[in-house]
Amino acid sequence: MTLNRREFVQLAAAMGASLAWSGRVHASRTNWRENRQYYPEGVASGDPDSNSVILWTRRPYQSEGRKVLIVEVAEDEAFRRVVATAPAPVSSASDWTTRVLVGKLKPAHVYWYRFTDSEGNGSRVGRTKTAPNANDARPVNFAFVSCQDVNESKLNGYRRMIFEDERAQPRDQLDFVLHLGDFIYEVVQYPGEGKPRFDRKLYEVARIPDSLKVRTYHLPTTLEGYRAVWKGFLADPDLQDARARWPFVCTWDNHEFSWQGWQSILKAPSIEQPAQTIKVAANQAWFENIPARVKAPSGSFEEFGSVPVKNVKIEKFADDGLGLEPNNIAAINSLIIYRALRYGRHLDLLLTDERSYRGPNPFEESSTDKLADWADYGMFPDDLLQALDGGRAYNGGNPPVELEFNGTKVPNPNKDKPPQTILGGTQKAWFKDRLRNSGATWKIWGSSQCTLEQRADPENFPAGLTKQKWPAGRFANVQGGDFGSAWVERGEIYDLVRDAKITGFAIVSGDLHSFWAGYASAQLPPGKFEPIGLSFTGGSMSSVGGGEANEYVIKKDDKFRPLYLADKPGAARPESTYNMMLRHGVRPCFEYGKSFDRAKALALSNPDVAPHLKFVDIGGHGYATVRVDGQEMRTEFVCIPRPIARAATPDGGPLRYRIVHTAKLWRPGEQPQLVQQVLEGDPGLGL
């Protein structure tokens, strides 16, 4: 899409961005002198299209009011070929941040940019890249990341990403970085105030004004509190270097607002309260610090604007999950971030918001806990969760009146409720329409939540391990709360892909702090396994994962320990058999814990547990890269050791492993096929 200048001005205004329009090439005319101390959070760019990109910085001043910076965009790093110069206003109302939409740029082109204040104090130089035209057949390369908690870790993955990209051929360099959420963690622990988790270290992030204390964590409740956290995270040098090298495309997950929150409800352990004012504050802080093609409530170039709301309890929910309280709706609508970006002929990137519109949790009813002792080992009957998820729509509109397990029955608390939704009605309709009408080779869903089911087969437990014998033929779900346990909504999307004969459908996601690769299928055995696309989840950039937690939480004498960990003699730390259980079932785990013979253990694999999974590593940190072209999608997991301390070397430190998954583009009616290859290191029991 090519905009004329008038349309471009209107677009910039809607996004709360200033405007720069590319023109005649000339040498720089500013007196720029790099002085990074005046720009403590660096520079960034975001959401490029084929002829424009948004540029960002923060230049704080001591006085109130409004100041004006100058932004320059050049075709060379020395700024001898400047193509755009424009004012970039900053003010205390926007926490001294600025967003500049630069237009009339060349497609698929690298540009350099910098900001200068009235005294000549200059920001560092940033690098960005525009998207190719919609009919451009060149390959597209991007990385996807998530979950970067600098309160207890360092971002060595970005250093590795930069190191490799700088040495890659231009055709193989990344076009952008996709951030799938938890850019910040609003839960902040102060050094010296309690112990860090496990063997982690506590690093100073911020002292949060007007914070809410939950356990050892401080949570922001005001705009100033969220701004303090954002500044603490953006002070990280490796994150600054990454944002200065590539345009970022971002969605959010939960921690940009609230630990366990949804819609405008703040939720954390032992706390749940209406928080419309806090949701608006969180949205404003995100808007101020993430350059994205989203509309500010003010409609102005310079600030987010005022959204007057009150904290009012939400009493009623619509069938599409939306809380009908007016302040809730106003808070959610203060910033709408689901959107689509087109990259050449081969990529439509569809980003969704999976926290602001999700409905009530269907799995919180405590009466179902009376059915079995499954809570002892974290497994829940798959079929019962599906009934709770489906509500009144389950079984073709004939849900069971009671839920049964091993002869014990309880009333079905959801039999008269609508099905669970994570996307909500309006966003889901938008998403399905974009998916149905995409003309790109690959339709990639940027989802903050994993879409792959996590199952086990406890019917194959050794005799006597549990009080109750798990019934034969019934699988267990071992993780709830994401798209892996949203069968109705996930199935609705996958059925559309199948029925509309859409090929090249793939999902990239975050949140789980682990690497996953597999197939998108609405059902698993005993249902019909029917892959209609690909699904990948990237490891956390730095946040604690399940594998790490298991090492410290599960005791050596725990009878369920073989499902999670194998204590191989002479090994520095236990191996994660949990990966094996999710891929192959419980029998291989118990065998491996005795013999440490991988081949012997895998001979006991249950093929019906996870035909949809090709790889799992619940202890993986790092990032993933994707390359798509007219024939193939290539997804590479780059896994690093636990990033507790900052790496001392420019490459970000050693790698644990590098594994690649490739899939040829399939025809309508065919099923995708993933081919796997370990390129470096040992991914352990995840294969």
Please state the length of the chain. 687
Confidence of residue 368 (pLDDT cuts 50, 70, 90): confident
Task: Pick the closest to residue 226 from 154, 304, 170, 297 (CA basis).
Answer: 304
CA distance 212 to 272: 12
CA distance 623 to 683: 14
Phi, psi of 484 (to 5 degrees): -65, -20
The percent of residues above 70 in pLDDT, for the chain, comes to: 95
**What do you get for the CA distance between the two ends of the chain, in Å?**
43
Confidence of residue 10 (pLDDT cuts 50, 70, 90): low
CB 8 within 8 A of CB 103: yes
Task: Pick the closest to residue 541 from 172, 48, 198, 178 (CA basis).
Answer: 178
**What single string gives the DSSP state of each residue in 414-449?**
TTTSPPP-SS-HHHHHHHHHHHHH--SSEEEEEESS
The percent of residues above 90 in pLDDT, for the chain, comes to: 89
For tokens 């899409």, the residue is 1
| Beta strand pairing call for 217-219 and 110-116 | unpaired
pTM of the entire structure?
A: 0.97
Strands, DSSP E only, in 286-383? Answer: 339-343, 347-351, 380-381
Q: How far is CA 176 from CA 245, 249, 250, 536, in A?
A: 9, 7, 10, 18
Confidence of residue 2 (pLDDT cuts 50, 70, 90): low
Q: pLDDT of 493-520, one tens digit each?
A: 999 999 999 999 999 999 999 999 999 9
Computed over its alpha carbons, how large is the radius of gyration of the chain? 25
CA distance 39 to 46: 18
Q: pLDDT of 172-197, one tens digit each?
A: 999 999 999 999 999 999 999 989 99
Confidence of residue 284 (pLDDT cuts 50, 70, 90): very high
| Beta strand pairing call for 53-58 and 43-46 | antiparallel
Confidence of residue 431 (pLDDT cuts 50, 70, 90): very high
Phi, psi of 176 (to 5 degrees): -165, 170
Task: Pick the closest to residue 177 from 435, 40, 349 (CA basis).
Answer: 349
Query: At a CB cut-off of 8 Å and minimum separation 6, what does 447 contact?
Result: 180, 352, 354, 483, 507, 508, 509
Element (H, E) at 587: helix 586-595
pLDDT for 24 equals: 84
The amino acid at residue 49 is D
Query: At a CB cut-off of 8 Å and minimum separation 6, what does 515 contact?
Result: 537, 538, 539, 615, 616, 617, 620, 622, 624, 637, 639, 686
Q: How far is CA 643 from CA 217, 650, 657, in A?
A: 21, 14, 14
Confidence of residue 617 (pLDDT cuts 50, 70, 90): very high
CA dihedral 605→610→615→617, nearest 10 degrees, is -90
CB 648 within 8 A of CB 576: no
Task: Pick the closest to residue 465 from 552, 373, 583, 575 (CA basis).
Answer: 373
Residue 517, SS3 per DSSP: strand
**What single string gives the DSSP state of each residue in 94-130?**
GTTEEEEEEESPPTT-EEEEEEE-TT-EEPPPEEEEP
**What single string gives the DSSP state of each residue in 6-75?**
HHHHHHHHHTT-EEEE--S-B---S--EE-GGGSTT-EEEE---SS-EEEEEE---SSSSEEEEEEEEES
Give alpha helix (H) positions in 151-305. 156-166, 223-234, 237-245, 276-289
Q: pLDDT of 75-134, one tens digit each?
A: 999 999 999 999 999 999 999 999 999 999 999 999 999 999 999 999 999 999 999 999
- Residue 640, classified by CB atoms within 10 Å of its CB into exposed (0-12), middle (13-18) or buried (19+), is buried
Q: What average pLDDT does the chain have?
A: 94
CB 513 within 8 A of CB 545: yes
526 cis-preceded (ω within 30 degrees of 0) = yes
The amino acid at residue 616 is V
The amino acid at residue 542 is S
Distance of CA 603 to the CA centre of its chain: 35
Q: Is residue 17 scored above 90 in pLDDT?
A: no
Confidence of residue 406 (pLDDT cuts 50, 70, 90): confident
Phi, psi of 17 (to 5 degrees): -115, 150
The one-character DSSP state at 662 is: E
The amino acid at residue 371 is L
**What single string gives the DSSP state of each residue in 589-643?**
HHHHHHH--HHHHHTT--TTT-TTEEEEETT-EEEEEEEE-SSEEEEEEEEE---
The encoded tokens of residue 410 equal 């309880």
Q: Is residue 425 scored above 90 in pLDDT?
A: yes
- Give me the helix-helix angle, 577-584 and 546-553, nearest 10°: 120
What sign for the dihedral angle of Cα 234, 236, 237, 238?
negative
CB 487 within 8 A of CB 395: no
Q: pLDDT of 290-346, one tens digit each?
A: 999 999 999 876 789 999 999 999 999 999 999 999 999 999 999 999 999 999 999
Instruction: Work out the widest C-alpha separation in the chain, in whole angstroms.
Output: 81
- Give me the helix-helix angle, 577-584 and 586-595, nearest 10°: 140
The amino acid at residue 479 is Q
